Amino acid sequence: MPTPKDHEVLLPDNEFIVSKTDIKGRITYVNRVFMRIAGYSEQQLLNQPHSIIRHPDMPRGVFYFLWHTLQKNEEFFGYVKNLCADGSFYWVMANVTPDYDANETLSGYYSVRRKVSEKAKSEVTPIYQEMLKLEQNSSAPSAPKISAEYLFNLLEKNNVSYEEFVFSLT
């Protein structure tokens, strides 16, 4: 894993990052935008776990929620800070959906990511920081669930659903 540095790579307004994974989360397809923004070649990405780009600022609770959503055959929307090959970072609004073959068997996951607003980054960052603190003070197995519960309790306290929260920041 590269050492994170304080340099943001911005995704242009009119570009989308696209990737596909198998059911275990290993990358099977990436578009050129993904390779350019993340700074990896296709060969470096294919067959790697998608977590190759996971930034340490991202709470595991977000991915805990993502996988639980996908296991219910639902699509996931969320804000993700990713790590580039050189240690830079980039933010995306991710939409991840289950992908089925012609026999309607789950074959993997399809993800399209787009640029994030400054408002979204400023709203999400302190929430993610608190989730990370909770994870650091919890046992490893329970940490993702505890931080995800924090997020949902915060949303419930503000009388807003997760989807309403995410889409209010676009």
pLDDT tens, position by position, 51-95: 999 999 999 999 999 999 999 999 999 999 999 999 999 999 999
For residue 5, tell me if it sits in a domain.
no
For residue 2, tell me if it sits in a domain.
no
Contacts of 1 (CB under 8 A, 6+ apart): 83
For residue 32, tell me if it sits in a domain.
yes
Task: Give 170's pLDDT tier (boundaries 50, 70, 90).
Answer: confident
For residue 68, tell me if it sits in a domain.
yes
pLDDT tens, position by position, 130-147: 999 999 999 999 999 999
The domain that holds 139 is classified in CATH as 3.30.450.20
Report how far apart the first and last C-alpha atoms of the chain are (Å, whole number).
30
For residue 8, tell me if it sits in a domain.
no
pLDDT tens, position by position, 7-24: 999 999 999 999 999 999
For residue 72, tell me if it sits in a domain.
yes
For residue 109, tell me if it sits in a domain.
yes
For residue 12, tell me if it sits in a domain.
no
Task: Give 1's pLDDT tier (boundaries 50, 70, 90).
Answer: confident
State both tokens at 46. Answer: 């294919």
Task: Give 98's pLDDT tier (boundaries 50, 70, 90).
Answer: very high
Split into its structural domains, the chain has a count of 1
Rounded (5°) CA angle 47-22-106: 170
Q: Which domain holds residue 149?
A: 17-168
